[in-house]
Structure 1
Amino acid sequence: MRAPSRCRSKPPDQVEPVHHFPGRNPRPEPVQFWFSNLPEDTPLTTLVRLAKLRWRIEHDYREMKQALGLAHFEGRTWRGWHHHVTLVSAAHAFCTLQRLARAPKDTAPA
Structure 2
Amino acid sequence: MKRLVIGAGRKAAKPVRWREGSRPGTGRSGFKRMYSRFVTLRIRPAGREVRQSVDGPEPPECWLLAEWPADQAEPVQFWLFDLPADTPLTTLVRLAKIRWRIEHDYREMKQALGLAYFEGRTWNGWHHHVTLGSVAHAFCTLQRLARAPPRHHAGLSLYRIVRELQTFLATWTGVCPTCHCGIPTPAPT
TM over 0.5: yes
Q: TM-score, normalised by structure 1?
A: 0.63
* % identical aligned pairs: 74
Q: Answer yes or no: is 1:34 the counterpart of 2:79.
A: yes
Q: If each structure's helix is expressed as a fraction of its own residues, which one has the higher value?
A: 1
Q: 1:21, 1:34 within 8 Å by CA — same for their partners in 2? A: yes
Cα displacement (A) at 1:67: 0.9
User: What residue is the counterpart of 1:26 in the other structure?
Assistant: none
User: What residue is the counterpart of 2:90 in the other structure?
Assistant: 45
User: What residue is the counterpart of 2:145 in the other structure?
Assistant: 100
Aligned residues: 91
RMSD: 3.2
Correspondence for 1:79 among 103, 124, 143: 124
| Corresponding residue SS for 1:68 | coil
Cα displacement (A) at 1:59: 1.4
Q: Which structure 2 residues correspond to residues 49-64 of structure 1 after superposition, within 5 A?
A: 49-64=94-109
Q: If each structure's strand is expressed as a fraction of its own residues, which one has the higher value?
A: 2
Cα displacement (A) at 1:41: 3.4
User: What residue is the counterpart of 1:65 in the other structure?
Assistant: 110
Runs of 4+ off more than 4 Å: none
Deviations 1:13-53 (A, max 9, x none): xxx58532218xxxxxx711112233343221111111122
Q: TM-score, normalised by structure 2?
A: 0.40
Long gaps (5+) in structure 1? 11-15, 24-29
Q: 1:43 to 1:84 in 2, by over 3 A?
A: same
The one-letter amino acid paired with 1:65 is K
Long gaps (5+) in structure 2? 5-42, 48-56, 69-74, 155-189
